Amino acid sequence: MSHSAPDKLVYMANQIGKFFKSQGEAKTVAGVSEHIKKFWDPRMRSQIYAHIDSGGAGLEPQVKAAIEKLKNAETAAK
């Protein structure tokens, strides 16, 4: 069985979350959000936002919160 794009993005996002986890929840959310904003291309962000819209299965809670924060900020900026 091959991994779908959302599965790979969920894995990548959770890995970013693990990096920031020792800094506490607020810094984890901010760090993950900033990292995805800077380093993920718009297609990747669109895919992870669609995954969030369908429930965000597999995402760690702080990672999900970070992606929701980023998605809301991008939506508000349009």
Of the pLDDT bands very low, low, confident and very high (cuts 50, 70, 90), residue 3 is low
Long-range CB contacts for residues 46-51, cutoff 8 Å, separation at least 24: 47/5, 47/6, 47/9, 48/6, 48/9, 48/10, 48/13, 50/6, 51/6, 51/9, 51/10
**Segment 14-34 mean pLDDT:** 95
**Segment 9-21 mean pLDDT:** 97
Q: What pLDDT shows up at residue 2?
A: 45
* Domain range list for the chain: 5-77
45 token code pair: 């962000």
**Segment 9-30 mean pLDDT:** 95
Using only C-alpha atoms, the chain has a radius of gyration, in whole angstroms, of: 12
Of the pLDDT bands very low, low, confident and very high (cuts 50, 70, 90), residue 65 is very high
Q: What pLDDT shows up at residue 5?
A: 77
